[in-house]
C-alpha cells in the first residue's frame, strides 16, 4: 500500500489557481494522517541520500537534501498557518502532538552519521569543488545545521539533545496556546454611558462589533486584542477601567491555573542552557548568535545599553510632562502604566495640535493596502492583481497575483487583516511555498513564492470601513516589507530563499519598508477621508510628520527592556525563578515604574512560543541600525523612489535571500556598514 493512500491528496497536491493550495478541500482530520505519511516519505528520501553508494557530490547530497521532504513542507505549511491564524481545540490538540514529533523527526536526521559524513566530506573539500557563492552558502548552512544538531556528539549526548529538543518543541506549543487562551477568555463588558467616557466613535463601533461577534449579550466589550486594548487605554477617561484592562493585558500567561506560563519558562530556560552546554557553547545566547551579524552577546548588550541610556533619560523627561498634565486636571496620582498612553495622547494633541481621532478617518485599511502595493510598484516594478473568486484559508483572507513589469507572474500574496478569537495576537509574515529554481520530482522546475501576511486589526461593523491608527498602518507596511522580501526572492536553492537570512538581518526589509508610509506623496495620495474622499489636509500632514518621534522614550524603553531581559535569560544558564530575574534586570537598569516591558516574560511569545527570537529580540534594533541608514541612501538622492537606488536595493537586499553574507549584501547596496547614529536620530534619541 502507498504511504499516501490514506491521505487527502489536496494536502500534498496544490492544484488551485497558480499552484495555490485548495484550502476548502482540506479538513482538520486530514492533518494527522498527512503528517504520518510525510514523515515516512521524508525518512525514505533521507535514507536514500545517506545510503547512496556513489561518492558524495554537491548534486547527489546537497541538492538532494534541498528538494527532499516536499510533502512534509506542504502539510507543515498548511498546518502551522491554521494553528496560528485560525485555530480550534482539534488543531491545538494536534499541535501539542505534532510539535514534539517534528522535533524527533529532525533530530533523527541530524544524528544520521552516514548523511553527515557525506556533508562533512564536501565541507572539507569545498575549496576545490568549483561552487558558486550561493552554493557555498547552501553547503555551509547544511554543515552548520548538522553540527548544531549534534552531528559531532557522541551517541549518548545526541540522544539527550534529541530529547531536549522534543521537550522544547512541546513547551513552545503550550506556551503560545496558553497566551491565546488568556486572550480569548478575558473581556471587559461596557454598558454605555459613563463606561464609554472619552471613547471615540471608531472605537465604540469596533467594541460593539466584537461584542456582537462574541454573542454574550453585551453592548460593548474591551478585549486583549492590541487593536482594541491600546486605543481603549489611550482614550478612556475612566482611570479605574483603564487600570483593570491594563492589568489583564500584562497578566497574560500568569493568571494561575492551566494557562500559567511561568513554570514553562523555567523549564524552557533550563533545557536551553543544557542544550548549549552539550554543543560546547558558554550559554544559549552564544549558541544562537553564532551565525548572526552581531556574533556575540557582548555586542548585542553594548548596542542595547547605548540605546537604553538615552531612552530612559528621554522617558523620564516625557513622564515629567505627563505628570504636569495630571496635575493640571487637579489630580494627584503618579503616572502609572495605565495612564501613559492616555496622557501622551493629550500631550501630543497639545504639542502638535492633532489627535489620533483626527488622524484615523484618513487611514482606511483599503487605502493603506493600496499604498503598500503602490510603493512596491514604484520601487520594484511589481503589481498586485486581486483574485475575487479564489478561496483563502478563511473568508476574510484576500488573494492577489503579484506580477512584474512585463506582466509575468512572480508570486502569490494572501492578506489576512482582521482580529478573531481563533487567531493568535500580533502580526506576522509567513509562506506556504518559497521561491527556488530546482527541478522537483513532480516534473516542475522551480516554484513561485506563496506568501501571506497576518494582522489583527479591529473588524468594523458590516458596511463600515476599517480605520487604522498610524501604528496599525506601520504594522501593515512592516509585514508587507517581509512579504516583499519573500516575493522578490531570486535564488536557486530553497534553503536560502527570501527570508532565509540571519535573524538580525531579517527585519531590515520590513523595517525599511515602513519608511515609505510617511513619504509625503504617499500620504497625500492614500490618506483620504473615508466619508469625503478628501486628502489629508497639508496642515495635518505636516503635524503628523513633525510628531514622528513623539513619545520616543516610551517606545524605546518598552522595547529595550524586553530585549535586555531576553539576553539576561539566555546568558545566565538555568534560571531558578525567571520572574525574579526579570525584576532584578529591570531594577538594575532602572525601569521607571510608569512603564513596563513591551512583552512581559509569561507572554513573551517571540522568545518562548518556539525558538525564533530567543536571544534574538534585539534583532529588531540591530536591523533598525541598518534600515535607518538604508533609507538615508534614498534621502541623499532627494527622491524617495530614486530608480537607481531602488534597483540596488532590490538586487542586493530584497532578491538575494541568504545566498550572500549579510554584511556583503548590505555593503554592496550602501558601500559601507552603518553606525548606530542614524538609528538614534530616527528614534528621536539624538539630535
Cα end-to-end distance, the chain, whole Å: 71
3-class DSSP state of 415: strand
The x, y and z cell numbers of residue 549, run together, are 518621534
The x, y and z cell numbers of residue 607, run together, are 522568545
DSSP 302-313: HHHHHHHHHHHH
Sign of the four-CA dihedral 597, 598, 600, 601: negative
The x, y and z cell numbers of residue 43, run together, are 525518512
**Using CA atoms, how far apart are residues 613 and 540, in angstroms rounded to an integer?**
38
The x, y and z cell numbers of residue 491, run together, are 535564488
Q: How far is CA 599 from the centre of its chain?
A: 14
**Using CA atoms, how far apart are residues 682 and 687, in angstroms rounded to an integer?**
9
Q: Measuring CA to CA, which residue among 173, 172, 174, 47 is closest to residue 108?
A: 47
Q: How many residues does the chain have?
A: 687
**Using CA atoms, how far apart are residues 426 and 436, in angstroms rounded to an integer?**
29
The Cβ of residue 125 has, within 10 Å, a number of other Cβ atoms equal to: 10
Q: Cell numbers 508610509 correspond to what residue?
A: 517
**Using CA atoms, how far apart are residues 44 and 128, in angstroms rounded to an integer?**
30
**Using CA atoms, how far apart are residues 436 and 413, in angstroms rounded to an integer?**
16
Q: Cell numbers 542614524 correspond to what residue?
A: 678
Q: Cell numbers 506580477 correspond to what residue?
A: 403
Active site residue 45: no
Q: How far is CA 172 from the centre of its chain?
A: 16
Given a contact cutoff of 8 angstroms between Cβ atoms, the answer to whether 665 and 652 are in contact is yes
Residue 549 phi/psi, 5° resolution?
A: -105, 10
Beta-carbon contacts of 404 under 8 Å, excluding residues fewer than 6 positions away, are 381, 382, 383, 410
Q: Which of 401, 479, 507, 558 is catalytic?
A: 479
DSSP 560-587: HHHHHHHHHHHHSSS-S-HHHHHHHHHH
**Using CA atoms, how far apart are residues 12 and 5, in angstroms rounded to an integer?**
12
Cross-strand pairs, 398:
415
Q: Measuring CA to CA, which residue among 115, 274, 122, 255 is closest to residue 186?
A: 255
Q: Measuring CA to CA, which residue among 83, 270, 109, 105 is closest to residue 177?
A: 83
**Using CA atoms, how far apart are residues 331 and 341, in angstroms rounded to an integer?**
17
Catalytic residue ranges: 479
Amino acid at each position: 500500500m502507498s504511504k499516501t493512500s490514506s491521505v487527502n491528496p489536496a494536502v500534498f497536491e496544490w492544484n488551485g489557481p497558480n499552484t495555490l493550495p485548495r484550502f476548502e478541500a482540506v479538513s482538520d482530520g486530514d492533518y494527522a494522517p498527512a503528517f504520518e505519511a510525510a514523515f515516512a516519505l521524508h525518512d525514505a528520501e533521507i535514507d536514500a541520500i545517506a545510503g547512496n553508494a556513489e561518492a558524495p557530490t554537491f548534486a547527489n547530497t546537497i541538492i538532494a537534501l534541498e528538494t527532499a521532504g516536499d510533502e512534509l513542507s506542504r502539510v507543515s505549511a498548511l498546518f502551522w498557518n491554521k494553528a496560528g491564524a485560525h485555530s480550534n481545540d482539534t488543531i491545538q490538540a494536534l499541535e501539542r502532538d505534532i510539535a514534539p514529533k517534528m522535533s524527533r523527526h529532525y533530530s533523527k536526521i541530524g544524528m544520521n552519521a552516514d548523511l553527515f559524513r557525506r556533508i562533512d566530506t564536501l565541507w572539507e573539500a569545498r575549496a576545490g569543488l568549483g561552487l558558486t557563492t550561493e552554493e557555498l552558502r547552501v553547503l555551509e548552512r547544511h554543515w552548520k545545521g548538522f553540527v548544531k544538531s549534534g552531528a559531532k556528539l557522541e551517541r549518548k549526548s545526541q540522544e539527550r539533545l534529541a530529547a531536549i529538543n522534543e521537550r522544547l518543541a512541546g513547551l513552545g506549543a503550550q506556551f503560545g496556546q496558553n497566551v491565546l487562551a488568556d486572550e480569548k477568555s478575558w473581556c471587559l463588558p461596557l454598558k454605555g454611558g459613563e463606561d464609554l467616557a472619552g471613547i471615540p466613535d471608531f472605537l465604540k463601533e469596533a467594541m460593539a462589533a466584537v461584542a456582537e461577534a462574541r454573542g454574550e449579550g453585551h453592548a460593548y466589550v474591551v478585549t486583549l486584542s492590541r487593536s482594541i486594548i491600546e486605543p481603549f487605554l489611550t482614550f478612556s477617561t475612566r482611570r479605574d477601567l483603564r487600570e483593570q484592562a491594563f492589568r489583564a493585558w500584562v497578566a497574560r500567561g500568569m493568571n494561575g491555573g492551566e494557562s500559567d506560563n511561568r513554570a514553562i519558562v523555567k523549564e524552557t530556560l533550563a533545557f536551553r542552557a543544557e542544550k548549549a552546554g552539550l554543543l560546547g557553547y558558554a550559554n544559549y545566547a552564544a549558541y544562537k548568535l553564532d551565525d548572526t551579524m552581531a556574533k556575540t552577546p557582548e555586542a548585542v548588550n553594548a548596542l542595547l545599553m547605548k540605546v537604553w541610556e538615552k531612552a530612559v533619560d528621554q522617558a523620564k523627561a516625557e513622564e515629567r510632562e505627563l505628570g504636569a498634565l495630571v496635575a493640571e486636571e487637579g489630580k494627584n496620582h503618579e503616572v502609572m502604566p495605565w495612564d501613559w498612553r492616555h496622557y501622551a495622547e493629550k500631550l501630543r494633541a497639545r504639542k502638535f495640535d492633532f489627535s489620533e481621532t483626527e488622524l484615523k478617518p484618513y487611514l482606511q485599511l483599503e487605502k493603506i493596502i493600496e499604498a503598500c502595493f503602490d510603493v512596491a510598484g514604484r520601487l520594484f516594478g511589481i503589481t498586485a492583481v486581486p483574485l475575487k473568486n479564489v478561496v483563502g484559508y478563511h473568508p476574510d483572507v484576500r488573494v492577489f497575483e503579484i506580477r512584474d513589469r512585463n506582466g509575468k507572474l512572480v508570486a502569490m500574496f494572501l492578506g489576512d487583516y482582521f482580529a478573531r478569537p481563533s487567531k493568535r495576537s500580533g502580526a506576522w509574515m509567513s509562506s506556504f511555498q518559497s521561491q527556488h529554481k530546482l527541478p522537483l520530482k513532480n516534473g516542475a522546475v522551480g516554484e513561485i513564492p506563496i506568501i501571506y501576511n497576518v494582522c489583527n486589526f479591529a473588524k468594523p461593523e458590516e458596511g463600515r470601513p476599517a480605520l487604522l491608527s498610524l501604528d496599525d498602518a506601520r504594522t501593515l507596511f512592516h509585514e508587507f516589507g517581509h512579504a516583499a522580501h519573500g516575493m522578490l526572492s531570486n535564488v536557486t536553492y530553497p534553503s536560502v530563499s527570501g527570508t532565509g537570512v540571519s535573524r538580525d538581518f531579517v527585519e531590515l526589509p520590513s523595517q525599511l519598508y515602513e519608511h515609505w508610509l510617511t513619504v509625503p506623496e504617499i500620504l497625500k495620495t492614500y490618506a483620504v477621508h473615508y466619508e469625503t474622499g478628501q486628502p489629508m489636509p497639508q496642515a495635518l500632514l505636516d503635524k503628523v510628520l513633525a510628531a514622528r518621534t513623539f513619545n520616543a522614550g516610551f517606545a524605546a524603553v518598552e522595547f529595550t527592556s524586553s530585549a535586555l531581559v531576553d539576553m539576561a535569560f539566555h546568558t545566565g544558564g538555568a534560571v531558578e525563578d525567571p520572574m525574579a530575574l526579570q525584576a532584578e534586570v529591570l531594577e538594575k537598569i532602572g525601569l521607571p515604574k510608569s512603564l513596563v516591558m513591551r512583552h512581559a516574560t509569561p507572554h513573551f511569545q517571540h522568545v518562548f512560543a518556539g525558538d525564533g527570537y530567543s536571544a534574538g529580540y534585539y534583532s529588531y534594533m540591530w536591523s533598525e541600525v541598518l534600515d535607518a541608514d538604508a533609507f538615508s541612501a534614498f534621502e541623499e538622492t532627494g527622491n524617495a523612489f530614486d530608480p537607481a537606488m531602488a534597483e540596488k536595493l532590490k538586487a542586493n537586499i530584497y532578491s538575494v535571500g541568504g545566498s550572500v553574507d549579510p554584511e556583503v549584501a548590505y555593503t554592496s547596496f550602501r558601500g559601507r556598514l552603518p553606525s548606530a547614529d542614524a538609528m538614534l536620530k530616527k528614534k528621536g534619541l539624538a539630535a
